[in-house]
Structure 1
Amino acid sequence: MQVSVRMLARWLTLVLRAAGPAVCCKRVYKDAHITVCPLADGGEGTVDALVNGCDGRMTQVQVTGPSGHPVVCPYGIVDETHTAIIEMSGAAGITLVPASKRNPLFTTTYGVGELMLHAVRAGAKTIYIGLGGSATNDGGAGMLQALGARVVDDRGCDVALGLAGLEQVASVDLAPALQALDDARIVVLSDVENPLVGRRGALAVFGGQKGLPTRDAEVLRRYDSWMVGYGRLLDAAIAGAQAQGLLRTPEGVRTFGSVLGVPGAGAAGGLGAALLALGAELRSGVETVLDLVGFDELVRDADLVITGEGNMDEQSAAGKAPVGVARRAKRCGKPVIAVVGGRADNLDAVYGQGVDLVLPICRKPMPLDQALNPQEATTNLIFAGESAAQAYDLARL
């Protein structure tokens, strides 16, 4: 018997590597062969997952953080394929900004551009960028500026960093940034399908969690108008770069008339739009990671697939890693059990995507800080894994 284990949360992955799967499944099946492979969906844990799954290595660089202060950001390198793996949250993530100081009017993606530039100078020919957990709503303007793009006001001066700077943008010139990237292929990993602007745009949907006053509709409309103007300038800059022969559409990549309405352009506060302007490919985070770690080959010989998530709810069915795993496993006719820290009352959408059983891991009532303790989590996972294996055994009767 072989069991493939897929866990999303970073702390849960570490627990699984240390003890979880081997102990939990072998309590029921003494001769079980366990394959442990971390997974991510383009958000937190993407660098770890791909470095481990693709025999890469970690490096780090100091860049400008979202509030303008320096931060040390790790990223992955796969030397064999000249590939860099970046999480934008490492340079511009919301966890880098204290809750009391979150204000996307001033937070910036400048460090993301610095990170990309460092990767290219280190020899990267392909850059995978996970978009998730951002503190920013600057439309990726800071990233473009760090790469050398001219994002200027009507006097030809660089605009201020952050969303506030977009009010002043009069023109965008992508040529210096494209030259700095030296034809590197950029692949964006995200399962967010929001456009740049409008009711489902970067500001309307995600602005509140980053500090924008979501209850003030008039203020939000004003901010969104800045983003609309900026998006139109990106469109003009794309046309200009194409006319100069600096920007070519990669083969097999869908073209678009304007970045404003492209699904995914609103990811990471509009960073998706700026990356599109640089010729990036937008890909499903979970599907791309599954391909890169060779999931289909691993699952082919498995009897049971165990996946997991911190909290499973209806949003889990919209591109999250566990459901991506379940869809792939079902193609091969494999049963899927998800072990979770918490779950919503209604999981019909999750079950409809191929998850057969959702199993909360806590073996008894306990406060959250106790449940998150690594030793306690290990114990909980051991018993949850035992239950998963017993459930699989029961299904075979």
Structure 2
Amino acid sequence: MKIVVAPDSFKGYMTSIEASEAIRKGLLEVDQKLDIVTVPMADGGEGTVEALTAILDGEIKTEEVMDPIGRKVQAAFGWVETTKTAVIETAGASGLPLLKDRELDPYRASTYGTGQLVSRALDLGAENVILGLGGSATVDAGTGFFEALGIRYLDEKGKEIQAAGGILGKIKSIHTSGLDSRLADVTFTIASDVTNPLLGREGAVSVFGPQKGVTEDEMPFFESGMEHYAETVATHTGNDHRLAEGSGAAGGFGFSLLSYLNPKFESGFTLISDFSRLESHIKHADFVITGEGKVDAQSLYGKVPVGIARIANTYKVPTIAFAGKIEGDLQAAAGQGLSSVLPIVDEPMILLDAMDKGQELLQKAAVRFMTIVQVCNGKKEESSNE
């Protein structure tokens, strides 16, 4: 029996690699003869570096950079020496996982640390950069990222101002002469499943601002600042990307990337699926097992488990998802090819305990699932022999 194990990270407490290994161990505990293929997954957010670096047979490096609010933090990025490829995720240096809820500060949060990671990759001789945009804690439109790479922002008095979400409306002029010249020789691939434009009701501030700390009362201020910044950039570059798909990703980061680097945008899920040859593994499988920290109605709109289920459904391969938490009505999941969503907890427990025991719980859940499969297969064999 062939089983493809392809979970997303269980955000905050288990990487996709750790989740894959826990499931694999649980399955083999029941049947040592199983043919198991593990494919750690991600979608451009948290976990992208670990998953994609493993798939590309690279190594994880760490660098001391600034977190979203200017504190020093160790951030990981992937490096593939053979292809001179760096794998970087915004979540690693400028992401929500680095901040507690009370620390969210859209006024001063910046993507500077992510720019520092790219600078380090350039030092290593990077020719390709894969940059995941998911999970950012910023609405600075990527100004911090480009500040770290040499761009300068001046106010109406000609004074240099430090990039952050709260200063976009104060930028009078942009100086790009100091932008790192090495960037011109680098191919940027942006891993993001966000297609929102920069401005408006579907834009960076309106849709994603609240998760980064923007209150309802503050919406007009940040929207106005974003609009002013977009106009300033368009005037400076001669190109206007504010309506482009993905320009609103990561608090407007997508807009600045399009404006200065001419990158290629790809679905984070599709990018990792293609690199890992996920579909070729799935089409010959008997089962696919995926999972993530929480599966809810939102999971039906492009999250990893449903993306995997849709591929498997094409080949009539059942897909099972494990989840730390199941929320809402998931009846529509079956129509997407997700055969069943199973919780990993096996008794009442508080969230912190569940997170602490995540790998153990996931392994046990895999044991329970595989035991049921074996029992059902046994009954089928008995029935066929009668």
Query: TM-score normalised to the size of structure 2?
Result: 0.89
Correspondence for 2:24 among 14, 18, 21: 21
2:247 and 2:99 map into 1 onto residues whose CA distance is 23
Q: Is this contact kept in 1: 2:17–2:51, CA < 8 A?
A: no
Q: Is this contact kept in 1: 2:153–2:162, CA < 8 A?
A: no
Q: Secondary structure in 2 aligned to 1:84?
A: strand
Q: How much does 1:33 deviate? A: 0.9
Q: Is this contact kept in 2: 1:259–1:273, CA < 8 A?
A: yes
2:377 and 2:140 map into 1 onto residues whose CA distance is 48
1:319 and 1:395 map into 2 onto residues whose CA distance is 35
Q: Is this contact kept in 2: 1:371–1:377, CA < 8 A?
A: no
Q: Secondary structure in 1 aligned to 2:82?
A: helix
1:31 and 1:366 map into 2 onto residues whose CA distance is 34
Q: How much does 1:159 deviate? A: 2.2
Q: Is this contact kept in 2: 1:26–1:32, CA < 8 A?
A: no
Correspondence for 1:39 among 35, 38, 41: 41
Number of residue equivalences:
376
2:313 and 2:63 map into 1 onto residues whose CA distance is 41
User: Per-residue CA shift, 1:182-204, capped at 9, x if unaligned?
Assistant: 32111111112222111122111
Q: Secondary structure in 1 aligned to 2:139?
A: coil
Amino acid paired to 2:37: T
2:133 and 2:341 map into 1 onto residues whose CA distance is 27
Q: Secondary structure in 1 aligned to 2:245?
A: coil
Alignment of 1:83-94 (within 5 A): 83-94=85-96
Report the more deviating stretch, 3-12 or 35-44: 3-12
Look up the match of 2:142: 140
CA 198–378 in structure 1, closer or farther in 2 if over 3 Å, else same: same
Look up the match of 1:314: 297
Look up the match of 1:168: 170
CA 88–15 in structure 1, closer or farther in 2 if over 3 Å, else same: closer
Identity of aligned residues (%): 35
Q: How much does 1:291 deviate? A: 0.6
1:387 and 1:321 map into 2 onto residues whose CA distance is 25
1:263 and 1:389 map into 2 onto residues whose CA distance is 47
Report the more deviating stretch, 363-372 or 273-282: 363-372
Alignment root-mean-square deviation, CA: 2.4
2:57 and 2:155 map into 1 onto residues whose CA distance is 45
Report the more deviating stretch, 305-314 or 324-333: 324-333
Look up the match of 2:198: 196
2:287 and 2:64 map into 1 onto residues whose CA distance is 42
Alignment of 1:95-174 (within 5 A): 95-174=97-176
User: Per-residue CA shift, 1:267-301, capped at 9, x if unaligned?
Assistant: 11111111111212221010111111121222232
Report the more deviating stretch, 175-184 or 107-116: 175-184
Look up the match of 2:367: 382
Alignment of 1:262-277 (within 5 A): 262-277=244-259
The unaligned stretches of length 5 or more in structure 1 are 240-256
Query: TM-score normalised to the size of structure 1?
Result: 0.87
Look up the match of 1:243: none
User: Per-residue CA shift, 1:77-117, capped at 9, x if unaligned?
Assistant: 11111110001111111232332232110111111111111
* Residue 301 (1) aligns with residue 284 (2): yes
Q: How much does 1:2 deviate? A: 0.9
Q: Secondary structure in 2 aligned to 1:358?
A: strand
CA 334–381 in structure 1, closer or farther in 2 if over 3 Å, else same: closer
2:197 and 2:374 map into 1 onto residues whose CA distance is 42
The unaligned stretches of length 5 or more in structure 2 are none
2:233 and 2:374 map into 1 onto residues whose CA distance is 53
Q: Is this contact kept in 1: 2:199–2:242, CA < 8 A?
A: yes
